[in-house]
Amino acid sequence: MAAEPIVLFDDGHHKCLMFDSLVTGEGVQSNQFLIVDGKHEALIDPGGDLTYTPLSVAASRYMNIRDMDYVFASHQDPDIIGAIDRWIVHTRAKIVTSRLWARFLPHLVSSYVTNQLSGSVYDRIVSIPDAGANVKFGDSFLQCLPAHFMHSVGNLQFYDPVSKILFSGDLGASLGGEDDHLPVKDFDKHIPSMIGFHRRYIASQKVCRLWANMVREMDVAMIVPQHGKRFEGPVMVDRFLNWVSDMECGIDLMTQDNYRRPVDYV
Ligand SMILES: [Fe+2]
Ligand SMILES: [Fe+2]
């Protein structure tokens, strides 16, 4: 675990920083991302209350976070956007998410916070259609890619054309490994820390294959998931795309045994 953010990319003007060790205690290890382009800032999948304070302090090194441009949320989970109320009240950031979740996210914001806002929470949400969209950011843009059913029904991934990093959300996630601040070194040894999560959380092989076809046509230097280690360089990116395309998961594996009335008590 690294206390300081990991610099994934930095050309002096454009930076991609990853925090891998802000979640402590019961929460699952998660990575949060800060993208800086000159005087513009965006967060990707910043998480919940546990990570709000350290992330806002880190972001304050580059600008007054009140003026932060965006918070990108790949989907609706608590480890992704649980602290939406705090980002909404303490910054002017727009929350970018799938249109499937745009009307549900305001449920996370209390009336206490809503009353402090001049407009409605919904006015602060940029709702991305199923086809995805490019969102202008600083001198560049961030590309919201469709990643439906991986794992959420309305799921986005975020591609940064400057760094060529694909922020893949829960796809490629690994759990229970060590040294999550380092990239994957040995792909075969890494598979056991990914397989259980993907079999249960990702919907089907069909969507993985369709997604991999899209990504193979892109210029991707690095795939960085929201949990665990990242895949750096063309060889590792290719290995991940092949692995995820060949993996049966989700509804591919369901049988009648998964749908029986329980007899046990918890
Ligand atoms: Fe999730
Ligand atoms: Fe997650």
Average confidence (pLDDT) over 64-83: 95
Ligand nearest to C-alpha 227: 2
pLDDT reported for residue 3: 58
Ligand nearest to C-alpha 201: 1
pLDDT reported for residue 23: 86
Helix ranges (DSSP H) in 103-251: 111-116, 187-190, 192-201, 205-216, 233-245
Helix ranges (DSSP H) in 61-168: 78-81, 84-90, 99-102, 111-116
- Between 62 and 248, the higher pLDDT residue: 248
Domains and CATH numbers, the chain: 6-254 (3.60.15.10)
Positions of E strands within the chain: 6-10, 14-19, 32-37, 40-44, 70-72, 94-98, 125-128, 133-137, 140-146, 156-160, 165-169, 222-225, 231-232
Average confidence (pLDDT) over 12-31: 91
Question: Separation of 80 CA from ligand 2 center, angstroms?
Answer: 6
For the record, the structure tokens of 260 come out as 């029986």
Question: Separation of 139 CA from ligand 1 center, angstroms?
Answer: 30
Question: Separation of 173 CA from ligand 2 center, angstroms?
Answer: 8
Q: Is the pLDDT of residue 165 over 50?
A: yes
Measured from the Cβ of residue 182, the count of other Cβ atoms closer than 10 Å reads 14
Element (H, E) at 57: helix 49-59
Per-residue pLDDT tens digits for 225-235: 999 999 999 99
- Between 113 and 18, the higher pLDDT residue: 18
Q: Is the pLDDT of residue 63 over 90?
A: no
Please tell me what DSSP assigns to residue 146. Answer: E
For the record, the structure tokens of 176 come out as 């229970």
Ligand nearest to C-alpha 153: 1
Q: What angle do CA 131, 81, 9 make, to 5 degrees?
A: 75
Report percent pLDDT > 70 for the chain.
99
Question: Separation of 51 CA from ligand 2 center, angstroms?
Answer: 14
pLDDT-derived band at 119, boundaries 50, 70, 90? confident
pLDDT reported for residue 116: 87
Q: What is the pTM of this model?
A: 0.96
